[in-house]
Structure 1
Amino acid sequence: MKRARQVRSGVLVRGRYQGEGIGLVDDKGRVAIPSSLRTTLAANAPKADGKTGGTVIVGPHQKSKCLVAYDQGYLDILAEQLDRREAEHTGPGGEFDYNIKRRAAAGEAVPFDGSGRFIMPAFPRFYASIGEHAFFYGVLDYIEIWDPATLIAEPDIADNVKAAARFHMMQKGLTL
């Protein structure tokens, strides 16, 4: 398996999430991460015992009605970004917008197996209106997980992403 983690100039480099796919969500919320994304996730978050699988953090997106999924290593990057944003939005008297961190802090770490299967946490799944199908899309630092119909209806989503969702649904014989 190609490792997504490398060391450059003494710094560990995380693999970037690229790829997409549709996952069937069962009645218990189990879904499989598409292999193109799972390979990077497993390399970024390997199990300590060397076995396949690992941990993925899943939570609501800060702005869109979808979920984000990422490895533990992204938490430090996210916290640093949020600290900078918080400092930039601190008003007179030292008050800042507490919602900046509240939006990003709602993640839950869940295990995934060697096939990429994990149980989608209930509240995030409810928040994103994810039913029987979940569309996964890698956006370099993390993975977005969408209800396909919600993604198609979202006006701010790039046409190529909508086309990818339609394509993968069509490949499975599903219509929106």
Structure 2
Amino acid sequence: MPIQYKGQGFSLRGEKSRFVLPPSFRKDFADKGDERILCLGKHERWPCLKAFSQSAIAGFEDILDREEEAALRRDKDYDRELRGAQLLSYVEVPFDASGRFVMPDHLTDLAGLGDEVFFQGGMPFFTIWSPDKLYSMGEAWNNAQANCRTLAESAKKKAKAK
């Protein structure tokens, strides 16, 4: 069973251009026995990145089956090959025991990420947002937006105190 990511986090780009994965997400990897490798790719609908562990890959065929069945029930077209390519369009990025990792430039560009990122749990995956992109998402995202503002303020105060 894949990891179930819950909660939020925030990271400022630090020394050596590294971001820091929230402790609760790092713990999920450790508890599951997964290697310290993030699978990162562009989210298929939102202007952010989607992240998951290597153990989630085993469930991709089930995702394709469910989505295809749902499309058939709604009499909609479903391009299984395209969707499979979307699911498998990720990059493996290692992180250290402290959760530090370097975001690949092409993913930073795809998601419009800068020197600040917000992590939002989403059960079998989590998302990584530019705060500005998240703030533009509308009312449905009010809770995540408020969490991002609070965590950003705290991270910036902490950075100034150093």
Coarse TM-score class (shorter-chain normalised): 0.7 to 0.9
Please list every run of 5 or more consecutive structure 2 residues that lacks an aligned counterpart in the other structure.
158-162
Please list every run of 5 or more consecutive structure 1 residues that lacks an aligned counterpart in the other structure.
1-12, 48-53
Q: Does 1:46 align with 2:34?
A: yes
**Structure whose residues are more often helix by fraction:** 2
Q: Which residue does 1:60 correspond to in 2?
A: 42
CA contact (8 A) 2:8 2:22 kept: yes
With normalisation by structure 2, the TM-score equals 0.81
In angstroms, what is the RMSD of aligned CA positions?
2.3
Counterpart-to-counterpart distance in 1, 2:78 and 2:8:
36
With normalisation by structure 1, the TM-score equals 0.75
Cα deviation, residue 31, structure 1? 0.9
Match of 2:102 among 112, 119, 127: 119
Counterpart-to-counterpart distance in 2, 1:45 and 1:69:
17
Higher relative contact order (CA 8 A, sep 6+): 2
Q: Deviations over 1:99-141 (max 9, x none)?
A: 3233322211111110011111222211111100110111111
Identity of aligned residues (%): 28
Q: Does 1:162 align with 2:134?
A: no
Q: 1:82 to 1:163 in 2, by over 3 A?
A: same
Q: Which residue does 2:66 correspond to in 1?
A: 84
Counterpart-to-counterpart distance in 2, 1:58 and 1:44:
18
Question: Equivalent residue of 2:156, what SS?
Answer: coil
Letter of the 1:55 partner, please give it.
I
Q: 1:15 to 1:100 in 2, by over 3 A?
A: closer
